[in-house]
Amino acid sequence: MMVRNDGTKIDFVKFCDTVCGDKERLRTYFYDCKPYKSEPPTVEEKLKSSQYDKFANKIEALPRFQMRFGKLRKNKDGTYEQKRVDILLAVELVRLSWSDQIQYAVIVTGDSDFVPAIEAAKDAGVITKLYYSRRSVHDELLSAVDERCEMDQAFFDSVKR
């Protein structure tokens, strides 16, 4: 289950079935970072980590779901930054494309950092489809993919739990 900023709870299996349509799904890769933990971790960090591990285990228990983890870095100003997540997705997309394991890739993002990986997948003959939110998508990304679908309120209503 995923919760949107507006509190809507999303059913991951329904979400994936919707975005895949009539295409067979090899696997859904879920890219994220585990919560930050200092050394030694605080009580709050331990709790967040335990809750996240339960969430990640539920995701991986779903059929054909796989978690991929980057690193969460704490900046000097106290903010956090995900590291390696984009690269993990890009490498996986290119590897699966060029090894002929996929012919169709559905990508859910708005980040134009993925354009080179999408272009490499297309060079390997893979059809790329983007699911995006209008509020957070880059024009270059929209131009790079073969197909695109906006995730509007009607879309989220169709995949909520």
Euclidean distance between CA atoms 1 and 59, whole angstroms: 8
Domain housing 56? 2-159
Q: What is the pLDDT of residue 136?
A: 87
Q: What is the pLDDT of residues 113-125, one digit of tens each?
A: 999 999 999 999 9
User: What residue type is 36 in one-letter code?
Assistant: Y
CATH of the domain at 66: 3.40.50.1010
pTM above 0.95, yes or no: no
Number of domains forming the structure of the chain: 1
Q: What is the pLDDT of residues 8-64, one digit of tens each?
A: 788 999 999 999 999 999 999 999 999 999 889 999 999 999 999 999 999 999 999
The proportion of the chain whose per-residue pLDDT surpasses 70, expressed as a percent, equals 96
Asked if residues 27 and 15 have their Cβ atoms less than 8 Å apart, the reply is: no
Euclidean distance between CA atoms 92 and 90, whole angstroms: 5
Euclidean distance between CA atoms 10 and 156, whole angstroms: 7
